[in-house]
């Protein structure tokens, strides 16, 4: 049997010539926009802030590894293996938020739109709300992930065998959503109806919060490390497979009984996903360094970055959706204006 | 292709029953002038008297994997810590994981078999067990954890030998050998052992399965290989190995070795081995093998921890090298006859 070769390399639309390359010069684990600046969070110690003109300035944030980072658009809050939680703003100023008394690693961080910040060290989750009072809550095993609900002050704390929903300002006992296994990442759907965790095994688990019905989302060859909601929360884009796996969340049943869409398949594992903030497109980074922009409704692809490098570790759009920032694990980065 | 194994950070697992001297050995490793930097994952922060920002406290959280096999457990905290440590790649040369005195080493080892991200960056180097020469014989009777740690070990540091008489030492060594005849054994006082004998052993490196275990070649019958003296150079009863050494048979933990010089049928052997560890995996702590398959000019090597196996073609058989298959199992209440019969049925006729 003859093999048909579509000659894909020649047929795809490419915008690689529009990318402004940025040499970060250190391993990068995530990127966030602070106003006009793209802030590339390093694996250790510092953040590289890149201005719209492409000037790079390094800001030292931690005295060791940077283990987690979250941004609300006006600041990035980062936890380190130096036991510190620190915030970086658009001016490049660093504010120390908290220091762990036992110098434990700060493993996870989450931000609430009203200014509250949550973080965890070991089995303890902490919340400091806008009024600067600090509260803590212990779960049965090490915290694997944190997420604030979009409404109210409610924190999801992922751990072994489930997720605890904690209301820091209420006396009520925390609610526990149980599911066997280790839960390492957690997100609420933007409409506050669903909660989804990324598990240690290659699977997602979800709960419909109205009735705690379970949703198992399996079939991944690798662990899901990157999740991103499409505009309006209609679908959840995920890494972990050789294509972007999009779970439908538009109906009241979410993905229950439905198949996910598989977009932009390549001979490489998807390592990072970032949905556009205004339009139904997403950016996907792969383990071979490829970056594609993908239109959600028909899967049409545009090449942003060619393959042949370290895995893509960071992807982010600015709030207006006019700029895409990316970086590979080795710090080879770029900005794509649209 | 670059040698990926060598770029992975070696991880030494340090076990040993309460009071055997783990912390003494750890302090030695950290304080000795060897020019290497170690990241150390400990369960008790305070015990280490050395200032090092790469000492990380762990909670020893053992998680079951959701893959339907009950004995498939991993150290969840280790997955997280190794992930975090990799952000500081280049700042250290190797990692040491100290377990609590009552810990089973299996979940630590299994973490390296099942976790893709851990596997990408780190490799299990060896399980090193520190044993107390004075008390081990007693602990082997009353503490299943101590027995597990001996059975699992690649290297055994038999410590506090100055506190026992010669016959007592011979007794405890015989008891160790009854459980695990394959580990390298070092007699020490205050854990004075050359660090090269405990670190960078490559005990889980498929390529080194033979290299590091010369006794593996002579294993012969499963219960008759306590002639360990030749590789640590003690000055008594060399060639006439049985002289003076008591010969114990541990009631519930044994090793079993199999060999044949006839080729194995891969279509029979592989399903048999996979089925064996699936059914008896809870009993089998460690397994290793070098295999000669019919119509195959390459040696196949494998190793396993409980139900987990990994294996690969290693290299071509050399001219004149006997094409023998050799397997070793260490475990609890091993169904010896079933294993022997199953193995026999995989031999091509």
pLDDT given for residue B200 in this prediction: 86
Name the minimum distance, in Å, from the CA of B44 to any CA of chain A: 13
Query: A201 to chain B: which residues are within 8 Å by CB?
Result: 65-67
Look at residue B3 and tell me whether its pLDDT is greater than 70. Answer: no
- Inspect the interface and report whether the beta carbons of A44 and B77 lie closer than 8 Å: no
d(CA B293, CA A1): 32
CB A283 within 8 A of CB A304: yes
The residue length of chain B stands at 349
CB contacts < 8 A (A, B):
67
Look at residue B217 and tell me whether its pLDDT is greater than 50. Answer: no
d(CA A109, CA A106): 8
Question: What pLDDT, in 10s, does the model give residues A269-328?
Answer: 999 999 999 999 999 999 999 999 999 999 999 999 999 899 999 999 999 999 999 999
Backbone phi and psi for residue A124, each to the nearest 5 degrees, phi listed first: -105, 130
Number of H helices, E strands in chain B: 11, 14
Instruction: Count CB atoms within 10 A of the CB of residue B321.
Output: 10
The answer to whether B53 faces chain A, any CB pair under 8 Å, is yes
d(CA A299, CA B45): 52
Edge-first strand listing for the sheet containing A213-218: A145-148, A155-166, A175-188, A194-199, A203-208, A213-218
In terms of Cα–Cα distance, which of B148, B124, B183 is closest to B284? B148
- Inspect the interface and report whether the beta carbons of A142 and B77 lie closer than 8 Å: yes
- Inspect the interface and report whether the beta carbons of A65 and B84 lie closer than 8 Å: yes
- Inspect the interface and report whether the beta carbons of A123 and B59 lie closer than 8 Å: yes
pLDDT band at B41 (very low <50, low <70, confident <90, very high): very high
pLDDT given for residue A36 in this prediction: 87
Residues of A with CB under 8 A from a CB of B: 27, 29, 43-44, 64-67, 81-82, 104-105, 107, 122-123, 141-142, 144, 160, 180-182, 184, 199-201, 203, 222-223
Q: Which among A27, A66, A160 is the nearest to B61, CB-wise?
A: A160
The predicted model gives B34-45 an average pLDDT of 85
A141 φ/ψ sector (left φ>0, alpha ψ -120 to 50, else beta): beta
- Inspect the interface and report whether the beta carbons of B76 and A104 lie closer than 8 Å: no
Q: Which among B63, B87, B89 is the nearest to A182, CB-wise?
A: B63
d(CA B74, CA A10): 46
Instruction: Name residue A77's beta-bridge partners.
Output: A70, A87
Q: Which among B67, B88, B115 is the nearest to A44, CB-wise?
A: B88
CB B75 within 8 A of CB B63: yes
- Inspect the interface and report whether the beta carbons of A81 and B87 lie closer than 8 Å: yes
- ipTM > 0.90 (yes/no): no
Instruction: Count CB atoms within 10 A of the CB of residue B174.
Output: 16
Name the minimum distance, in Å, from the CA of B41 to any CA of chain A: 13
Mean of all residue pLDDT scores within chain A: 93
Range in A218-232, B220-234, B260-274 with the lowest mean pLDDT: B220-234
Q: Model-level pTM?
A: 0.87
d(CA A6, CA A13): 14
d(CA A269, CA A167): 37
Strand A108-111 with A117-121, pairing: antiparallel
Work out the percent of chain A whose per-residue pLDDT is above 90: 88
DSSP character string of B94-144: EEEEEPPTT--SHHHHHHHHH-HHHHHHEEEEEEEEEEETTTHHHHHHH-H
Edge-first strand listing for the sheet containing A20-23: A20-23, A332-337, A323-328, A312-317
């Amino acid at each position: 049997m003859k093999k048909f070769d579509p000659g894909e390399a020649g047929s795809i639309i490419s915008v690689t010539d529009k990318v402004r390359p940025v040499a970060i010069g250190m391993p990068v684990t995530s990127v966030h926009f602070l106003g006009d600046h793209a802030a590339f969070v390093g694996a250790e110690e510092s953040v590289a802030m890149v201005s719209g003109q492409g000037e790079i300035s390094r800001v030292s944030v931690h005295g060791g590894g940077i283990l987690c980072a979250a941004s609300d658009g006006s600041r990035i809050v980062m936890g380190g293996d130096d036991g510190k939680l620190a915030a970086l703003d658009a001016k490049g100023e660093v504010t120390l938020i908290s220091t762990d008394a036992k110098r434990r690693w700060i493993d996870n961080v989450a931000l609430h739109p009203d200014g509250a910040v949550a973080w965890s060290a070991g089995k303890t989750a902490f919340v400091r709300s806008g009024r600067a009072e600090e509260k803590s809550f212990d779960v049965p095993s090490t915290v694997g992930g944190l997420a604030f609900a979009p409404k109210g002050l409610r924190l999801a704390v992922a751990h072994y065998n489930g997720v605890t929903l904690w209301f820091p300002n209420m006396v009520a006992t925390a609610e526990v959503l149980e599911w066997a296994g280790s839960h390492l990442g957690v997100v609420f759907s933007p409409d506050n109806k669903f909660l989804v965790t990324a598990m240690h095994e290659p699977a997602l688990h979800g709960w419909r919060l109205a009735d705690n019905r379970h949703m198992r989302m399996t079939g991944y060859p690798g662990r899901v490390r990157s999740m991103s909601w499409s505009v309006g929360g209609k679908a959840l884009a995920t890494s972990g497979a050789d294509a972007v796996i999009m779970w439908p969340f538009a109906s009241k049943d979410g993905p229950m009984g439905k198949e996910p869409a598989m977009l932009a398949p390549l001979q490489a594992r998807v390592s990072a996903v970032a949905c556009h903030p205004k339009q139904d497109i997403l950016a996907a980074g792969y383990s071979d360094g490829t970056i594609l922009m993908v239109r959600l409704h028909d899967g049409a692809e545009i090449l942003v970055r060619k393959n042949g490098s370290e895995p893509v570790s960071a992807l982010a759009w600015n709030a207006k959706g006019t700029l895409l920032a990316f970086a590979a694990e080795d710090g080879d980065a770029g900005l794509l204006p649209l | 292709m670059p040698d990926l194994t060598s770029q992975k950070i070696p991880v030494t697992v340090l076990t040993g029953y309460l009071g055997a001297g783990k912390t003494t050995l750890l302090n030695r490793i950290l304080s000795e002038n060897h020019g290497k930097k170690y990241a150390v994952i400990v369960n008790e922060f305070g015990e280490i008297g050395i200032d090092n920002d790469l000492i990380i406290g762990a909670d020893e959280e053992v998680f079951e994997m959701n893959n339907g096999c009950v004995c498939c457990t991993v150290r969840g905290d280790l997955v997280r810590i190794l992930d975090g440590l990799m952000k500081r790649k280049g700042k250290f040369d190797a990692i040491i994981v100290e377990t609590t005195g009552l810990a089973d080493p299996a979940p630590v080892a299994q973490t390296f078999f099942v976790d893709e991200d851990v596997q990408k960056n780190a490799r299990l180097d060896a399980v090193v067990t520190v044993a107390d020469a004075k008390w081990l014989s007693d602990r082997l009777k009353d503490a299943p954890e101590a027995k597990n740690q001996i059975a699992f070990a690649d290297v055994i540091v038999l410590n506090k030998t100055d506190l026992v008489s010669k016959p007592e030492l011979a007794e405890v060594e015989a008891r160790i050998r009854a459980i695990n005849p394959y580990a390298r054994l070092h007699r020490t006082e205050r854990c004075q052992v050359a660090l090269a004998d405990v670190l960078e052993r490559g005990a889980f490196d498929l390529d080194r399965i033979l290299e590091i275990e010369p006794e593996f070649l002579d294993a012969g019958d499963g219960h008759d290989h306590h002639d360990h003296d030749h590789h640590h150079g003690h000055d008594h009863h060399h060639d006439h190995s049985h002289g003076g050494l008591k010969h114990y048979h541990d009631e519930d933990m044994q090793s079993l070795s199999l060999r044949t010089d006839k080729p194995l049928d891969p279509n029979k052997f592989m399903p048999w081995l996979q089925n064996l560890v699936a059914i008896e995996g809870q009993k089998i702590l460690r397994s290793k093998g070098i295999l000669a398959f019919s119509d195959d000019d390459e040696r196949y090597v494998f190793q396993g921890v409980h139900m987990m196996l990994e294996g690969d073609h290693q290299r071509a058989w050399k001219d004149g090298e006997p094409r023998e298959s050799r397997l070793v199992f260490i475990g609890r209440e091993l169904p010896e006859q079933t294993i022997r019969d199953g193995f026999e049925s995989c031999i091509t006729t």
